Structure formats: C-alpha cells, structure tokens
Structure 1
C-alpha cells in the first residue's frame, strides 16, 4: 500500500495565480512544505496574446519553461488532478499517486470549451478562423489581419463568464486600427457579435469604446451567440435574443470560445451549481471547507477574470491561509479588483480598473491616467511595464501596490 505524501500546503495549478500564491506564502513562511500540482511544461503570459495577435509581441516572448518560474522552495508535482477529496484532505493524481495536505489552494484556471461551438475545433487555425485565446493561433490572427485588404471580418464574444472580457473587442480594435492605417478599412465590413447586452460591463468606460466602434465603422450585434462554423462555406451561425438563427459570411473570423470550470472542479465538492469553486468573495475561502482557498479564473466570485485580479488575490489568499494556520496575520479582504487595458488602437489604451459592482478602483490619479479616455501612458504600461512586473514581481511574490497589511 502506497502511503500518501503529506504537505503543509498544496496548490493546484501552476499558472499566474498558483505561482504568485506559492511565492507569496513562501516569502512569509519559508518553513512550510508547499507543493504545486501542475502537469504543463510551459508557463504562459496570457495577457500578451492580444498583442501577439496585433504583431506587437512575438509569441515566444509570452512563454517560459514551467521549471524556470517555479519557486525554488516549492515542490513541483508534474501531474494533473483526477479527484479532489477535501473531506479527507486528499488529492488523487494522474500519475497514480495520492497526496494529502494541511491546507489547499485551488487555482487551475478555467477550461476553454472549443467544442462548445459546432465546427470550431476543426476550423481553428486555418481558412480564416483564428483566436487570440490560443498560443498557437494568436500569430495567425496577425497573419490574417495583414493579408485582409477587403471583405468581411467577424469578432465574437460568448456568454459570460470568460477570462478577460475585453479581449474579444481588443482583437477588433487592433485589427481595425491596422486596416485604418493601411487605408483599406473602407473595404472591410467589420462586425462584433457579442452574447452580452452591452459593449462592456462597466458603463463608465462605454462612451470611450463607442467612439472607436464608430471610428472603425464596426457593426455592433448585441445578444448574438456563435453556435456553428461552416469553414468550407465560410459561414458563421449565431443565435439572437429571440432564439432565431442568423447566418453571416466571413473572410476572417476571430472567435472567443465559451468557457467553463475544469471537469475535475465541476465534479468536486468544492463547486457551486454552475461548476465554479464556491468561495466567500472577500476572503476567498471555500464556503464548505475551512482549510481550502481558491483564486484566479476558477472562482465563483463576480470579479473580472484577469491576471490583474489574480495579482490582487494572491496575497489575500496567502495571508488568510497563514492566519488560519495560526500565524500573526489578520484576515484580509479582496475588493474584486480587476484591470482590463482595452487596446483601442496601437499606441493607446482605455485603462479600465474596477471592483465588485463596477466600483471604479483606479491605480493612478486622473491627471496621469484617466480611464475615461485613451492614453499613451496606459499603452506603455501594457506594452512595457506589465510584462516585466509579471515575470519579475508577481511570480516572485513581490507585491508592489497589492501587498495587504498584517498584524506584526
């Protein structure tokens, strides 16, 4: 009989949330045994894929080996989770082993449900169908944008929740900006089909975005959900609010796939009725198991699913876990902070920063960056500062601007 390996803390997921939380815990409590369960060999800076699709970043600049970002003091278990058993503080892994824990952090990200649109999996990556939500196809977006001189371009957004809700329209803006600069935009019929009832969930930023929809003469189709792609005929089918099917031809189709929690999460006792990890939205502690916390894209909290959110959540989870373990930290609260740098044109960004209920949570004074207007400084932040901060601060447990206070 194999004896399960025991750790003080087990973290499920080696993405942005998992690595940041592990580093945050170990910087505060290096004596703890921390294991990270992650099957992938490569770690991706996913916020960069929008820029890859616009020819601003190279795809290889958004990836590093998983080994290079793992905290040195953590134990990397290169396996996937088959079964979560929080009643017994145990996990069953894909490599046939079981591990147990004192405390658990769950942050495996979400599942891109490519099969949720009929014909999408087969079409993706050729014959005009692309997505910036995939490392493999983001470069194809830029290839299509450069080659399209006339015709019809469709950009789609599925029902919420999704990661980075602004990304589907970011692809539109950056593509249209290129066509505008090349002088061919009048020959391209640009369309945005979104399942949502509005352009963006926080009304404060909509006027600035609408100015760009108008500048690029893009047709806005609200409450239209992509259901099928016929890549041979180059026809996309949508279901509108009334349940009617609407077909549209295309020369270029940028798809944001529907998204859901990973299967092993949805089948676990940690999930709510929608499949997401059921947490207290302020403490990020499981509502059902007191020694379990969760963060990142997989949680039930109504915040934007962005890397900026994970960056703000990681120190909250770390300090709350340590407080539960009896360390001298007080319980900290997450205010729902998320950031969406909306790349409305090459060189300018509408920087949306907000928390629960759409409350504005700007990081900068208005005279420096005013989120109601496109900003060159916000572009420099996105293009230059944030990637460096991601690799050298967030993943290292350096919590500039997000470090919570604690009792000494």
Structure 2
C-alpha cells in the first residue's frame, strides 16, 4: 500500500482492502474517503466493506464516488464537504490514487501545508463568552497579538429566541455577522479547533494549522445533542414539534402557539446542565398567556415534563412560578425525561423512575416544545483539559485550569457550577480578562467570580420574575428591592428583557464595556 501525502491533513492511496484498515489507523489517520464507485472492476472490495472495517477501527468513513476521466464540479463540491466535516488527517483512495488527488486539487485542498502561528492569547470560541473576553482584554491592553478561533460566519443573541417564539422579536434581529463583532485588534481565525496540546502550548485546528499561545482561553459553548432523542431530529419544525433552542425553529414555535385552538401541549426539560435553565418554562408560560388572552386556555391540556426534581433550582423563585403554574392549569411531571418521539404519529415517550424501577409511557400531543440534552463539545470532552463532567475543568473562583496555569475557560463550556446563561458569561468575561493578563505577566490570578447568573423568567407577556443568583443559590440582585423584587413578577423586569438587555449585549458586553460587572479582587 503506497500512501502519498498531499498536505498535513490529506493523503491519497490506491484501492484499500479491509485488511489495510488496522495499519491505516495505526498510522494516525482518523478518516477515510472512498472515491471509487462500487462495481467499477471485478474483485473490487465494496465501499461498505471498507466502511465496516473503518468503524471497527474507530475511523470515520464517507463514500464520495466519482467516475475516472469525468470528474465534475459537483464531485469536487462533495469532496470539499466531506473534508470539511471529517476528522483529520484523512486518507482518500480510488483505483490508483490519482482520481482522489485530482478531486483534492479541484476542491482546493491539495498542496496545503501546516502553518504555525504564534499569539500572546488564543481564544477558542467566538460566541458571547469569547467575544466578550477578547474585547475586555483588548480594552485593557490593545497591543496584544490575540486570536479568536471561530468557524461560523453568523453570531446569535440566543436569549432573544424565547421572545421570537413568543412573537415579540423578529428572528432577524437576533443575528449579526461574526465579522462585525470581532474586536478591533483581534485576528479572526475562521476555523474549528480540533484538539489541544497544553504541554506544548498549542491548539490544533481542523485544517491542520497549529496555533501557539502564551495564554489560552477556552469558550466554544455547549453541544445541543438533538440526536440523543431518537426521532427528534427528523421531525423538528413539523408535526407540531418545535424548540426555541434553535434560530430557525423559534418562529415555528410562534406559528404553532398562534394557531393553537386547544388540545394537548407538552413542554420538556432534560437533565442539567443546559443553557438557560429557565428557557423551557419561559416557552410554556408565554404560550399559556397567549392562549389565556385568546380565550382557548380552557381547551388546552398543558404538561411540563422535567427530568429534574424541582420546578426551579433556587427555591426563592419557586412560589411566584407556582402561582402561574396554578393560574394556567399546568400539569407538572418531575423526574420525567423525553427519550423518544414519533412526529408523524404525534407521540412522545417519557421515562420515569419509581419504586419499581424505570417505567416508560407514551403521550400524544398536538404540539410539543422540546429542549435537547446538552453536553460538552466532543473535542473538549476528549481533551486533556476536561473534567469528569466533560467540560473544561476550572477553579470556580478564578476560572483557571487547576493543572495548566495559563489556561482559562468561561461560558457554557467550563465546569463551574454556575447557571449557564449569557449573564454568567457577561460576568465571567472581565474576571478572565484580568486573570489572563496576570498569567501573561507571570502573576497569580487577581479577580474572583462569584457564580453570578441571571434568568429572566417570562411568566406572561409584560411580566418577568428576574432570577439573579450565584454559587449555592445565593441571591445576587442587581437592583434594590424597592425597584425590582426579583422574587415577584415585575413589569420593569420585562422592560429590562425586552428593551434594555439587547443593546447592552450588542453594544456593551461584546464591546468590552463592563457595565455593572466590573471584576472584583479575590477576597473582596
């Protein structure tokens, strides 16, 4: 077997056999592409046999068949898409290897060479946490060589999706181009991170590049695992199945709720951690309030299935929420986890534990709002930075990794026990900025994070229970009680959510303006 390397991430070879796969895996390849149509020549091993051997060896496999001497732009596009999504390095094969090499050339992947780029600070993740942290750092020290690693071209104000689902915001106002948000002075590395080599102070990218750093900040967010619930991915956006946890689905929530004239409406919440633990309830309360105003609430059979054992994790806010549960006639099901969904039959299967073990029960629905299970991104979970939870291990006060003094994490990807909310990332960013600069200077961390997070619980259109709390459920209100009592529904809190927080996000947090979140020194 002769292998020809085209780049650090791509090599080509002649026809493989299942017996070759073990050696390919041992050589360090992580993926295989077959560019040969089945049945091209007598005795040719079918692609399926190579795929099975690859799966047994832990390698990814994609079949991108192309006819020798008749390669098309569509073939090149398919090759490029496969290379974009497969773990590198990749080995592509055909009869002789020449066809695969030509496809790589047409896809623009031949001849790429590994590049190593050196930075003072590398920020992995260009979402809320990453942009805010980078902006706060550059506000303090604008001459630094800082990179933001982010593959996506669009950036979303995700807290606004609840309001989109309620018909209050238009979805378009929650999206902006990532290029417009990269802080001045930062270099946007438009690529996905693949792995970390913390002992060498390097981040490996999917395209084969290596970024060297003096300080690393990790904040790629959380993975929404839609595929963890059988049947869910195939029915999202139709059959009455929706979720405000996706930009393209929140408008469908609005359409479903507006058209609803009665029937069974289910709302689900998976096991923690999830981003914005109050969002599953927000969708439910706002839906019920709309039905109440339309005079159809009496015809609605509303059920809230939560995998947890309580309505909300901080007891001080539960009485106000229970008032709305009773007002809307919501049926609560604790310890109830969605495990399967059949969209065409509009049936959901829930798993519950009782004294006799685990029981499953199917429930019919006319509409269902689903919140997917959420886990650490794969490349974080499989990295040396991960805690037992799979998230980046950090000290809860300094947000520094306990084993690597020049690595920090914040936002949804870090292991701190705070609620995973945009407000938490907003409070964490200045802390990480101060401590990252201290690490760059060879000094110990100086700023402390108290676990602050905020969850504006929209209990009806025009009123919000403003939950603000820190580690251990300690209440951390931003306003005096005479102005906003966060444990009670408030119209002023709605004004905050509806009118004030979006510009604070776009023009404050993402610009490094630390309004009301100035970092506090350790021990203060």
Q: TM-score range by the shorter chain?
A: over 0.9
Tell me which residue corresponds to 2:500: 385
Q: Deviation of residue 387 (structure 1)?
A: 0.2
Q: Deviation of residue 3 (structure 1)?
A: 4.7
2:185 pairs with 1:70:
no
1:166-315 maps to which residues of 2 (within 5 A)?
A: 166-242=278-354, 243-315=358-430
The answer on whether the counterparts of 2:452 and 2:470 sit within 8 Å (CA) in structure 1 is yes
Match of 1:344 among 443, 447, 459: 459
Cα distance in 2, alignment partners of residues 84 and 401 from structure 1:
34
Distance 1:389 1:326, change over 3 A: same
Compute the RMSD of aligned alpha carbons: 1.3
Q: Deviation of residue 46 (structure 1)?
A: 0.3
Tell me which residue corresponds to 2:440: 325
Question: What whole-Å deviation, never above 9, does each CA across 1:51-101 have from its counterpart, x for those lacking one?
Answer: 000000000000000001111210000000111111111111122211111
TM-score (norm 1): 0.98
The answer on whether the counterparts of 1:329 and 1:406 sit within 8 Å (CA) in structure 2 is no
Question: What whole-Å deviation, never above 9, does each CA across 1:114-161 have from its counterpart, x for those lacking one?
Answer: 011110000111110000000010000000000110110000000000
Cα distance in 1, alignment partners of residues 339 and 489 from structure 2:
33
Distance 1:44 1:262, change over 3 A: same
The answer on whether the counterparts of 1:328 and 1:406 sit within 8 Å (CA) in structure 2 is no
Distance 1:406 1:28, change over 3 A: farther
Flag structure 1 segments of 5+ consecutive residues without an equivalent.
none
The answer on whether the counterparts of 1:39 and 1:78 sit within 8 Å (CA) in structure 2 is yes
2:247 pairs with 1:132:
no
Cα distance in 2, alignment partners of residues 305 and 406 from structure 1:
23
The answer on whether the counterparts of 1:103 and 1:292 sit within 8 Å (CA) in structure 2 is yes
Over alpha carbons, which structure has the higher Rg? 2
Larger relative contact order (CA 8 Å, sep ≥ 6): 1
Tell me which residue corresponds to 1:55: 167
Q: Deviation of residue 329 (structure 1)?
A: 9.1
SS in 1 for 2:447: coil
2:505 pairs with 1:396:
no
The answer on whether the counterparts of 1:330 and 1:406 sit within 8 Å (CA) in structure 2 is no
Query: How many positions carry a matched residue from both structures?
Result: 407
Tell me which residue corresponds to 1:368: 483
Tell me which residue corresponds to 1:37: 149
Cα distance in 2, alignment partners of residues 346 and 339 from structure 1:
19
Q: Deviation of residue 246 (structure 1)?
A: 1.4
Cα distance in 2, alignment partners of residues 151 and 83 from structure 1:
48
The answer on whether the counterparts of 1:322 and 1:329 sit within 8 Å (CA) in structure 2 is no
Question: What whole-Å deviation, never above 9, does each CA across 1:258-280 have from its counterpart, x for those lacking one?
Answer: 00000000010000122110100
Match of 1:110 among 211, 217, 222: 222
Q: Deviation of residue 2 (structure 1)?
A: 4.0
Flag structure 2 segments of 5+ consecutive residues without an equivalent.
1-112
Distance 1:92 1:327, change over 3 A: closer
- What stretches of structure 1 move > 3 A for 4+ residues in a row? 327-330
